[in-house]
């Protein structure tokens, strides 16, 4: 498991940002275990501020956010499909 404070874990879980890789390691969506550790460390401490380090962090962030977007889109599609099967309009479910 990633070493996260209770508040960090709650925040990341709420954002659907955590998953488990094929080796059973907890990771951030879209990142390897090592990348997840580096990303979390940089978020906590600011990390190296060189241009190269900033570009690497931005690339990790972009991959992570793109993976999160896919998961959220799939979840929304599944909710809409279930609502349709139940005869409920997706727009009325959010009112």
10-residue block means of pLDDT along the chain (95 residues)?
A: 94 94 96 95 80 89 96 90 78 52
* CB within 8 Å of 32: residues ≥ 6 apart: 21
pTM of the model: 0.78
> Are 84 and 90 in contact, with CB atoms under 8 Å apart?
yes
Q: Are the C-beta atoms of residues 39 and 60 closer than 8 Å to each other?
A: yes
User: Quick check: is 82 in a domain?
Assistant: no
Longest CA–CA span in the chain (Å) reads 55
Predicted pLDDT of residue 39: 92
Does 79 reside within a domain?
no
Instruction: Give CA–CA dist 18/15, Å, rounded.
Output: 8
Q: Is residue 78 assigned to a domain?
A: no
The verdict on residue 56 lying in a domain is yes
In a domain, 90, yes or no: no
In-domain check, residue 74: no
b/e per residue 52-65 (b: at least 16 CB within 10 A): eeeebbeebbebbe
Specify if 15 maps to a domain.
Answer: yes
- Which residue range(s) make up the domain with 63? 6-68
* Residue-level pLDDT at 17: 95
Per the structure, the count of domains in the chain is 1
């Amino acid at each position: 498991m990633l070493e996260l404070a209770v508040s960090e874990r709650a925040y990341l879980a709420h954002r659907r940002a955590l998953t488990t890789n094929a080796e059973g390691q907890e990771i951030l969506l879209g990142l390897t275990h090592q990348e997840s550790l580096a990303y979390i460390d940089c978020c906590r401490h600011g990390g190296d501020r060189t241009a190269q380090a900033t570009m690497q962090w931005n690339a990790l962030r972009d991959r992570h956010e793109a993976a999160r977007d896919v998961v959220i889109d799939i979840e929304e599609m599944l909710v809409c499909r279930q609502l349709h099967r139940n005869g409920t309009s997706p727009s009325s479910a959010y009112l």
